[in-house]
Structure 1
Amino acid sequence: MRRLSLVALLAVSGLALGAQDIQSWARRLEARGVSVSAGLWEVGSGKVLERHREDLALIPASTTKVVSTYALLKTLKPDSTIDTEIWGDLKDGVVQGDLTFKGDGDPLLTSERIWLIAQSLKRLGVQRITGSIRLDQSAFDSQREPPGWENTSTDTLPPVLPLSVNFNRDEAGRLVADPERQSREIIQRTLQEAGIAIEGRANFEGRPNGLGAPRKLMAWTSPPLRALVLDINKWSNNFMVEMLVRRYGAGSWSRGVQRIQGFYRSVFGLGPEDIHITDGSGLSKENRLSARTLAIILRGAYHDFEVGPEFVSSLKIIGGEPWRLKIKDPNLTRRVRVKSGHLDQVNSLCGYVQRLDGEVRVFAIVLNGPCHDEDIWEQVSRWAN
């Protein structure tokens, strides 16, 4: 893969257009105790147009997902999928012993998809299971959460297990205390409703004569990565991206994060001091990113013919989504594509803005301190109009 230099991606010299405006805006925020890293760049040349401490690394919140999802798309490719395997000893319609679901990190294994799996098992001729439903969670290591979540709300994210049904949340969207039990119960209930009897007899200590070893009966394939990334960035789904980062690291959060950092070091020349992250979602307050680092990645993605269209389309479109437009400036409708971030004392926004003359620009704003969405959109609206 061809290495792209920082200088080629974002020019750091030149006169800023309207510098007084951005400086006045930033000074007002700093007077309130808010740290500011912000900038606006031409998407074509990378020339900096406006900036304020664009190299200052701050807590980025969910704009971290820009870093993780682009790396995933570029290295794994948009059409890549994840298989959940179903194993058992099937003979004459009967599974002797347990039916095992082996997870490998599909983040979108929902009740509806379990129903489809049940229908596929019926087509294979499965009528009865003498044992129980067993979950194989061996694809991930035993770490329950990545570093940096010590100061994050404990009810923010459920355990990230390689086989997880319904994001490990109940029907009301609440975290469940025992996600493996919930997944097993949903699978068992769905199979029974499909007409597959589950007897739940104890496993055989050994394999009696006439019984074969379990074999892979089928594999359920996830939606392609491009669809998963779209859900992640549109809805800022923390669970899904952390599931993919763990899988990216062969079951390890730390290896997944290191692989993301290695990608940016080799492709963009961004070192660990630039991509300082401990997770993929942005929940960690140990993460640090600057506006300039975010803009480098956004501009690189915009010009990436291979995966750029999938990445750009995954961002939220102001005025173009199935929810009410929070920003009341009608001139922004369908002219701003963004990833936002929110934590206590953190507001961030980065993406692309199309001016009224049709020119597209890259921007990033990261605020740490007593700040609000309105503080960011004041500046974005000026850049757009």
Structure 2
Amino acid sequence: MRSILRIFRQAAVSSALLLSLAACASTDQLHFSGKEYALYKTLNPAALLIATPDGEPLFADHADQPLIPASTTKLITALLALRHWGEDYRFYTDFSVRLSPGDAAPVLQISAYGDPFLVSEEMALLAGNLATRLRAQGIKRLSQIQLVNQWFETDIRLPGTGESLNPYDAVNGAFAVNFNSIKLRKDAGGWSSAEEQTPMTATSKRIAEQSGLTLKVGQSERINIGKDDMLNRQYAAEILIAFLQREGVEVEHAELQSTPLSGHDGAPEILRYRHYNSRTLAEVIRPMMKYSTNFIANQIALNLSADLYGAPASAAKLQKLYAEQLPSIFGWKRNDVHFLDGAGLSRDNSISALQLMAVLQAFEPWRHLLPEVEEGVYAKSGSLIGVSTLAGYLHHHQQWLPFVFLSNQRVPYHFRNRLAKSLKAQLPREFILSQQ
């Protein structure tokens, strides 16, 4: 109950912040100097905003100008998820084992719900739990694996995904392993997995051979596994099969059958298992913030859209999520902000520093999920060509001051971090203490 009340208080503070900033946008209670601030003043378009923990504006420059937020979009995606599910929520995948006609081995059916963190270690844990239940039923062999639900639309394409080998450009899917990426090592005789915990499968080899990746013998590199949704699901199925085999369970036919539940829904069910990810939502969001994993952010956003608007998730429902939920939470007009993805890859995303500050006010209960990018600076950064952003909290004399920096102009490497560090160093102790 306390956490719920705190969320409502944060929403109220956010509304007060908007009114306060609108009333005194040209009045700064802080004054800055130094080479980083001098460079900031040359940027156009750019915005800078700092407030007290209670939302009192301390410094506002172009705070109401809509700008491209890049990966600070992940703050918004995380906020929507944490409000909807809570930080202890766990993503899950359902498994059902059904009898086959005649003497054929049973069929394993999967209902996948877009778990964003099905990494190899999680798949090994999942397979172990499933194998234990199968052995208890005397089952050591399965005839095939079927994907029987459609939580995501097939071949979803979000901005910035699927157009390169970069793992940060991986496409999304309801049944995806290792963030739809694979780390490959070039050997004298071909390709192998560069991760001890990840098996090399037939589809892994096919992906490697078709990738066009050129490495010297002994070198390794992580790539995304491409934009073929069927191939991606097959890769996930083969990883599961490899771990089941290690547990003593054989699968006769490795090819994944992706069909809506129909052929076996009348067949007797032998067992049912729901695997909850070992990581909570908070434990998924923390590395997403630290490593800026686009796949996780978009996967969370698509899950939210399916949960709120019905499956299958789609790009259109994802856009509806931001267009409807943000005005509902913050009282904004529907067209005040614009988002086409949940990771910040789209250059058509737009939000003002003032609005992003409202997001930070609401995100305050979960600020511990942000990385410390400089001493006393806990924030999410964002980068696109010609875009540099940073938003989070300055920890100053035991107080947490939310701040936003947005620049839609090219800046020097790490400039945003140096700017935040410089601004924090110039905050007057006397002024901050007077706010208590």
> TM-score under structure 1 normalisation?
0.82
CA contact 2:390–2:405 (8 Å) conserved in 1: yes
CA contact 1:88–1:95 (8 Å) conserved in 2: no
Q: 1:295–1:151: structure 2 CA closer, same or farther, 3 Å change rule?
A: farther
User: Within 5 A, what are the aligned runs for 1:235-314?
Assistant: 235-250=291-306, 251-302=313-364, 308=365, 311-314=366-369
* Corresponding position of 1:228: 284
Of 57, 67, 71, 1:62 maps to 71
Shift of 1:275: 2.8
Shift of 1:137: 5.2
Of 6, 9, 12, 1:4 maps to 12
Q: 1:353–1:259: structure 2 CA closer, same or farther, 3 Å change rule?
A: same
CA contact 2:69–2:344 (8 Å) conserved in 1: yes
Of 182, 187, 190, 2:240 maps to 187
| d(CA) in 2 for partners of 1:190, 1:150 | 29
Of 50, 59, 68, 1:50 maps to 59
CA contact 1:353–1:363 (8 Å) conserved in 2: yes
Q: 1:378–1:120: structure 2 CA closer, same or farther, 3 Å change rule?
A: closer
Of 368, 390, 409, 1:369 maps to 409
Of 16, 34, 48, 1:38 maps to 48
User: Within 5 A, what are the aligned runs for 1:1-385?
Assistant: 2=8, 4=12, 7-10=15-18, 11-12=20-21, 13-14=23-24, 15-19=27-31, 21=33, 28-29=39-40, 31=42, 34-44=44-54, 46-89=55-98, 96-126=105-135, 127-136=139-148, 138-146=150-158, 148-149=159-160, 155=166, 156-172=168-184, 173-177=222-226, 178-200=231-253, 212-214=267-269, 217-222=272-277, 223-250=279-306, 251-302=313-364, 308=365, 311-318=366-373, 333=375, 335-355=376-396, 357-385=397-425
Write the deviation string for residues 240-268 of structure 1: whole angstroms up to 9, x where unpaired: 11111111111223323323442321221
* Corresponding position of 1:326: none
| Unpaired stretches in structure 2, ≥5 consecutive residues | 1-6, 185-221, 307-312, 426-436
CA RMSD of aligned residues (A): 3.0
Write the deviation string for residues 331-373 of structure 1: whole angstroms up to 9, x where unpaired: x52x111000111111100111022x33331110011122134
What number of residue pairs does the alignment pair up?
353
* Corresponding position of 2:191: none
State the secondary structure of the residue aligned to 2:182: coil
| d(CA) in 2 for partners of 1:61, 1:124 | 45
Write the deviation string for residues 113-162 of structure 1: whole angstroms up to 9, x where unpaired: 2222222223213433341223345111124213x448976744222111
| Unpaired stretches in structure 1, ≥5 consecutive residues | 303-307, 319-331
State the secondary structure of the residue aligned to 1:4: helix
State the secondary structure of the residue aligned to 1:124: helix
Write the deviation string for residues 44-92 of structure 1: whole angstroms up to 9, x where unpaired: 2x2221121011111111000011101110122222222201122259x
Write the deviation string for residues 16-68 of structure 1: whole angstroms up to 9, x where unpaired: 0344649x96774564x642111111122x22211210111111110000111
Q: 1:90–1:198: structure 2 CA closer, same or farther, 3 Å change rule?
A: same
Write the deviation string for residues 186-215 of structure 1: whole angstroms up to 9, x where unpaired: 111111121112222999x977xxx94346
Amino acid at match of 1:263: Q
Q: 1:43–1:125: structure 2 CA closer, same or farther, 3 Å change rule?
A: same
Amino acid at match of 1:273: N
Amino acid at match of 2:17: L
Write the deviation string for residues 205-226 of structure 1: whole angstroms up to 9, x where unpaired: 977xxx9434652111122212
> TM-score under structure 2 normalisation?
0.73
| d(CA) in 1 for partners of 2:97, 2:104 | 6
State the secondary structure of the residue aligned to 1:174: strand
